[in-house]
A and B are shown apart, each in its own frame.
Chain A
Amino acid sequence: MKNLIIAASCALAFMAGGVQAQDTSIGSSAPRSLRIAFDVPYEPFEYKGENGELTGFEVELADAMCEQMNATCEFVIQAWDGMIPGLLARKFDLIMSSMSITAERAERILFSEPYYNTPGGWFGPESFDTDVTDMSAMKGKTVGVQRGTTMDTFVTEKMSGVVTIKRYTTADDMVLDLEGQRLDVVFVDYPVGEQTVLTKDGFKEVGEAVKLGKGVGVAMRKRDADVAREVNSALRTLKEDGTYDTIMQKYFAYDVKI
């Protein structure tokens, strides 16, 4: 869903790139010090806990990753619009804020290997009993998606002409129309649907979740290829030694590992 603002980010990034200082790169002498940016709140990935401390799936993963890399890390809070510009302007060194890997972003910044991928989920009223993969049964239904998301792309490619697609800017508006029976079903980022649709009475998951896109990666400046190597190897270790699974199970009832 954060895809929506990328273009604005790119425009800003363009300007920020212009004023970027001569890069001196992050010092190669250990221990490395890294600043990692998050956009809060985006539950359950990054948000402020009861005592105001930063927590969430990505925050804990970042902690574990820093430990693995033997780096001292500082967490920075940054609004989504300024993420890529801030990274390029060296306000911080890594972004671990649910940034999906896309070709457009990859032109400006460097992505690590993906570290999670949430599926798109189908949600609808209790009475909805159509198989969402059956195109003839879905004919004439109205499907809601968030504009510009991987879910939008999926539905546009696979189902345009079969169903009526309605595109929304925010998930809230979309859920209102689902409640108001203007939509038969919505196809939305699973954690978002879990928190907006499933918390209401009379709604359920109506189809199997679909994995879309390349997933979410750590974003870095293109010149920091050495950092990327370390990040990738740290993430790989975490995925293999079970640390990743422990953190994941704390926040998700389903698999987001990639």
Chain B
Amino acid sequence: MPDFLAAWLDKNDIFTAMTILEYWNGMVTTVQLVFLSLIIGLMFAVPLAILRTVKNPFISGPVWFYTYLFRGTPLLIQLYIIYYGVAQIPGIQETFWWAIFREPFYPALLAFALNTCAYTTEIIRGAIVSTPHGEIEAAKAYGMSWFMRMRRLVLPSAARRAVQAYSNEVIFMLHSSAIASVVTIVDLTGAARNIYSRFYAPFDAFIFVAFCYMALTFTMVFVFRKLENHLLRHQRPVGS
């Protein structure tokens, strides 16, 4: 280790076992929050995207309204409404809902899941409607039912087209999760803010946390590159 780095580590009181543990706990919370909201969001996004492509406006309309609402407002506002707003509903404290809404984790998870679900729905819808018409006609000519067409043709090929846009959504979601600290969740950003306010050292606290986010981001980029390589292997030039 270079001498100046050793000297700096020696006299700093910010990177101690205590604060590193705080950052680590924050990282665990961030990963939990982002991972769970992405899973929930994706689970609901696939059926919603299919409904969104249905011609009947009474079916596709509500889904359109939902995605429009959640893509048209900032996530921070959604989080404020779900966390602080719900607590203002008279009598909510006496119902079983309060067990869920009392702690900040579940309202934040709900807000994040609803938000990412709206974006993912639109990503998948775009991929579904851009399925080449000839492929669908071919499937129809083989006598495939709607369900079978969806399962065998439309969804797999939509997944291939959606994966690149979805990897962006995943990364944006990780970055957006930084606002969880406004509702008292001690995620990575929350840990950084606590440590910063204790030592009045914004550079050290926030640069360290930026590196943590960067490490998470590049891990995800790596995973998605592997996934893309796998899903799009038929597009690679022969012999590569």
Q: Which residues of B are interface residues toward A (Cβ below 8 A)?
A: 84, 87-88, 93, 102, 104, 182, 184, 193-194, 196-198, 200-203
Contacts and interface: CB of A to CB of B under 8 A. Distances in A.
A83 B87 CA distance: 37
A169 B182 contact: yes
A166 B186 CA distance: 9
6 contacts: A6-B200, A167-B197, A169-B193, A173-B84, A177-B184, A182-B102
A11 B87 contact: no
Contacts of A179: 87-88
Contact of A148 (B102, B198, B203): B198
B84 A176 contact: yes
A7 B201 contact: yes
* Overall SS of chain B's interface: helix
A167 B200 contact: no
A8 interface: yes
Nearest to A152: B197
A10, A147, A153, A169: residue with the most chain B Cβ atoms closer than 10 Å: A147
Nearest to A144: B184
B87 A182 contact: yes
Interface in A146-188: 147-148, 152-153, 166-169, 173, 176-177, 179-182
B184 A166 contact: yes
B180 to A, nearest CB: 13
Contacts of A104: 200
Interface string A1-36: 001101110110000000000000000000000000
Contact of B87 (A168, A169, A176): A176
Contacts, number: 49
Contacts of A177: 84, 87, 184
Interface residues of A, number: 23
B93 to A, nearest CB: 5
Contacts of B88: 176, 179-180
A8 B206 CA distance: 12
A3 B200 CA distance: 9
A10 B200 contact: yes
A179 B102 CA distance: 12
Given A8-B202, A148-B197, 15 more contacts: A7-B200, A11-B203, A104-B200, A147-B194, A147-B197, A148-B198, A153-B198, A166-B184, A167-B184, A168-B184, A169-B193, A176-B84, A176-B87, A179-B88, A181-B87
B99 to A, nearest CB: 12
B104, B194, B198, B200: residue with the most chain A Cβ atoms closer than 10 Å: B200
A147 B104 CA distance: 17
A177 B88 CA distance: 9
A169 B180 CA distance: 13
Contacts of A176: 84, 87-88
A202 B200 CA distance: 36
Contacts of B104: 182
Contacts of A153: 198
A180 B84 contact: yes
A181 B102 CA distance: 8
B134 to A, nearest CB: 56
A171 B6 CA distance: 40
Contacts of A3: 197
A183 to B, nearest CB: 9
Contacts of B87: 176-177, 179-182
Contacts of A11: 202-203
Contacts of B182: 169, 173
Nearest to B89: A180
A6 B193 CA distance: 13
Contacts of B184: 166-168, 177
B197 A4 contact: yes
Contacts of B197: 3-4, 7, 147-148, 152, 167
Contacts of A167: 184, 193-194, 197
A11 B207 CA distance: 14
Contacts of A7: 196-197, 200-202
B84, B88, B197, B201: residue with the most chain A Cβ atoms closer than 10 Å: B197
